[in-house]
Amino acid sequence: MSDQAPVIEIRGLHKAYGSLEVIKGVDIVAHKGDVVSLIGSSGSGKSTILRCANLLEDSQQGDILFKGEPVKWKGAGLARQPADPKQVLRIRTNLSMVFQQFNLWAHMTILQNVMEAPITVLGRDRAEVEQAARRYLDKVGIGDKCDAYPAQLSGGQQQRAAIARALCMEPEALLFDEPTSALDPELEQEVIKVIKDLAAEGRTMLIVTHDMKMASDISSHVVFLHQGLIEEQGPPARLFGAPESERLKQFLSATVHA
């Protein structure tokens, strides 16, 4: 597909759980090198959008495009689902997701955790993957923990291992779902530093976060969601410095003083 096409494009997305519509028509675009942060109160639909983009959840309406290629669908409404499993796998392996809970395999060492998907999903050469895995663990600052098991690591170290695992897939974009919300403030800073470094490298990222300072520091674009719709969006300096909607003003006031 065209290099000029956005890495991720969401058009008119609707998502419901039964009769409850949680996303009510949302458009989001992330070009190569963009860092797009999704902010909003709990239940506003942020994480759901991320899961729909990565095809972990089926949406009922709207288009999802990866580098200009639209996801193929079959069925309609609540019965709609992706039509091509190979396309789903290809897109999902190019959009590596980092979850709030680290989702590391407890019975594998940190190095094995990072190597597992590139070998089993992508079929890459084991020696080559091990070299890359060690490089990415060094990059996130836990190269000395290769032989440790997840239970032997702090929460911040486990989340950095999860980021290394996502990077080892060599994805086109990284999707972060509240990557620091399960961490103590001190450990949170370790992970924020890694995410800031990735942003500075020009990696394409979609980030769901409750951390307004991080969103302000690293985003090229911020989207404020309210009740399943985009209430306001734009560059961080404007959204945080001169919010226009009353709802965003209330939200920022509550988060700043929390």
CATH of the domain at 12: 3.40.50.300
**Would you say residue 52 lies in a domain?**
yes
| pLDDT for 258 beyond 70 | no
Instruction: Quote the pLDDT of residue 227.
Output: 94
**Would you say residue 86 lies in a domain?**
yes
> What is the four-CA torsion angle of 91, 93, 98, 102, rounded to 10 degrees?
140
**Would you say residue 116 lies in a domain?**
no
pTM recorded for the entire structure = 0.93
d(CA 98, CA 88): 18
Number of domains in the chain: 1
Contact (Cβ atoms closer than 8 angstroms) between residue 23 and residue 52: yes
Phi, psi of 113 (to 5 degrees): -55, -45
Domain hosting 197: range is: 8-102+175-256
**Would you say residue 15 lies in a domain?**
yes
Residues 199-236: pLDDT tens digits?
999 999 999 999 999 999 999 999 999 999 999 999 99
**Would you say residue 251 lies in a domain?**
yes
| pLDDT for 250 beyond 50 | yes
**Would you say residue 135 lies in a domain?**
no
**Would you say residue 191 lies in a domain?**
yes
Triad 8, 167, 43: Cα angle to 5° = 55
Contact (Cβ atoms closer than 8 angstroms) between residue 232 and residue 225: no
Residues 85-97: pLDDT tens digits?
999 999 999 999 9
Q: pLDDT band for position 181 (50/70/90)? A: confident
**Would you say residue 31 lies in a domain?**
yes
